[in-house]
Amino acid sequence: MNLCSDNHSEVCYEGNQCPACEEMEIRDTTIEEKQSEIDDLKSQVDDLEDKVSELEEELEEHKPEPEVDDRIKEDVFPPDETEPPYKKY
């Protein structure tokens, strides 16, 4: 019988390697792998957000100008006014 208490509670075991140490090693490896995966996904999110911004800017650049008639209407009757610019008597 062997005793082990390396970074965990004392464990009594038979064999060559402490089962608690094995489990802790597996857990630590899994945590490192998951953290690496999280970091990769965060990087992908940042890249995709940058791409979305670029595409939105490109879309804005290629947005068509309003037609002449629409611009004249907006000058004479601004969109927030319902009455014509002259007074009714």
Does any domain span residue 43? Answer: yes
Q: From CA 28, how far away is CA 82, in angstroms rounded?
A: 68
Does any domain span residue 34? Answer: yes
Does any domain span residue 19? Answer: yes
Which positions of the chain have pLDDT values less than 70? Answer: 66-89
Mean pLDDT taken over the chain: 81
pLDDT per position as a tens digit, 41-63: 999 999 999 999 999 999 988 88
Does any domain span residue 77? Answer: no
Does any domain span residue 59? Answer: yes
pTM of the model: 0.50
Q: From CA 66, how far away is CA 81, in angstroms rounded?
A: 19
pLDDT of residue 65: 72
Exposed / middle / buried, residue 80 (Cβ in 10 Å: 0-12, 13-18, 19+): exposed
> Residue 26 belongs to what domain range?
2-63
Backbone conformation region of residue 66, classed left if phi is above 0, alpha if psi is from -120 to 50, else beta? beta
Sign (positive/negative) of CA torsion 37, 43, 47, 52? positive
pLDDT of residue 1: 79
